[in-house]
Structure 1
Amino acid sequence: MTVSAASTNSVTDNLSITKKQDTKKNTNELGQAAFLELMITQMNNQNPLSPQDNSEFVAQLAQFSSVEGLERLNTSFNSFMSNNALQASSLVGRSVTVESDTSTLVTGGIVAGSVDLDYPTTDLKMSIYDETGSLVQTIPVGQAPAGETVFRWDGQNIEVNGELLDWEAGENAATAGEYRFEITAGQNGKTEALNTSLSANVNSVTIGENGKLILNLAGIGAVEADKVKQFN
């Protein structure tokens, strides 16, 4: 086989290029400077009788810029997801408040909650049911102003808007378990059921396919993080 001087130079140049690429293999990516160097080498070694069209070089450069932009976007997105996951992991074991009528009472703990009233009332009442649907307590709160009314229940006594309610709670406290709250208020001449928000412990955190954080709450289940009303 005959080897010409031109082919020898081409092989030498290719070996030189390969050597330069090998030194950058550790980074596993082709930087912009290396890409331009390869392009210039390609231009210097093209067939002078059949040079490449300028549009081909422009297309290559555009393609490289597009790939580089996607890589940077992926890097930024992965960094964002990692930061979100790290922040979310700190929520495990904490209590959050979400819109729900059920929650879990743990031994020695409390269930915190709130309701919003459009108008003041003199007949706010809470009924609490256990897992079997049996009525555990009916609490006649009485007066409540318009706006948010917050409460804390420990299984026996209840505190409303920072004041311990003076009522006959009974001798036995409710045991640990899941409970449903039904809260009503007399407004506009009729009794209306109110939307309730309750506290729940975060058992675990996952990231959905859409990138949203999903909190798995005790007694409630999976809830998107942006649905949380309050971090307790």
Structure 2
Amino acid sequence: MSVTDTTSGLTLNQILANSSKTTTTSTTDGLAAATGSATGNKALGKDAFLQLLVTQLKNQNPLSPQDNGAFVAQLAQFSSLEGITKLNDSVTSLSSSYKSSQALQASSLVGRSVVAQTGSAYVDTTKSLTGTAVIPASVAGATVTINDKDGKTVKTIDLGSQSAGNATFVWDGTDSSGAKVDPGTYTFKASASIDNTTTDLVTYLPATVNSVTLSQTGGEMMLNLAGLGAVALSKVQTIGL
């Protein structure tokens, strides 16, 4: 029996060199195929990452294998990627639950009366309006000036001397002559002399919630108040019936 030499005179070094070239090409093609099939036009996920790792193991050069430390580092990256993916899923679930809770809360506010930090209010002058002025320090005197929608002064309420805190005032819907005024939007400007300087004060006034606007980006809930427009929920002091 005869044996035919198929190496055509190639040396062992040449054979190994050709094997290395073939392995390198195979590895590159395998990784490219794995990347293309696993990812397509999408972001690289944990499944694609694992597929690339397995492909790298299958196609590594047997004469120059991948360092063990490099594989351990890649496995650690894979573990971190899987943890981040689970964390993202949990955050997404919590966000969805929060939005549902916020929507339920918003529906319960519609039609209710609130007291919000604002300088104007829609007033039904057949009823009395009760507001609050915030006094930052003890003052000898404070006033609340009520103007109509045209800026004309309707009435001025004298609060007298006040200590630091909240000063309550009541408007019965009449002008300075005692006549009833028409319902509508009125502005309330509270002021006091502090350190010989006239200082504007923060006022809290009642209003009715007509509707609620929910932020799609996780921002603050906005209450649409009758005659006032949108007011942030954080500016609401009291929620009534």
TM (norm. structure 2) is 0.60
Q: Does 1:79 align with 2:97?
A: yes
User: In the alignment, what sits opposite 2:174?
Assistant: 156
Contact 2:118 2:203 in 1 (8 A): yes
The one-letter code matched in structure 2 to 1:189 is N
- The alpha-carbon deviation at position 96 of structure 1 amounts to 2.0
The one-letter code matched in structure 2 to 1:92 is V
Aligned equivalents of 1:146 and 1:68: distance in 2? Answer: 52
The one-letter code matched in structure 2 to 1:199 is P
Q: Does 1:145 align with 2:152?
A: no
TM (norm. structure 1) is 0.62
Aligned equivalents of 2:91 and 2:129: distance in 1? Answer: 43
Aligned equivalents of 1:67 and 1:117: distance in 2? Answer: 52
1:159-184 CA distance string (max 9 Å, x none): xxxxxxxxxx5342222100011222
Aligned equivalents of 1:77 and 1:107: distance in 2? Answer: 43
**Structure 2 residues not aligned, in runs of 5+:** 1-46, 61-65
Q: Does 1:129 align with 2:147?
A: yes
Contact 2:133 2:166 in 1 (8 A): yes
- The alpha-carbon deviation at position 59 of structure 1 amounts to 7.2
Q: Does 1:196 align with 2:214?
A: no
- The alpha-carbon deviation at position 190 of structure 1 amounts to 4.2
User: In the alignment, what sits opposite 1:217?
Assistant: 225
Q: Map 1:1-232; keep pairs closer than 5 Å.
A: 66-106=84-124, 108-156=126-174, 170-208=177-215, 209-232=217-240
The one-letter code matched in structure 1 to 2:222 is I
Report the aligned-residue RMSD.
3.3
- The alpha-carbon deviation at position 185 of structure 1 amounts to 1.9
Aligned equivalents of 2:77 and 2:193: distance in 1? Answer: 72
Q: Which has the higher helix share?
A: 2
Q: 1:65 to 1:135 in 2, by over 3 A?
A: same
1:6-35 CA distance string (max 9 Å, x none): xxxxxxxxxxxxxxxxxxxxxxxxxxxxx9
User: In the alignment, what sits opposite 1:13?
Assistant: none
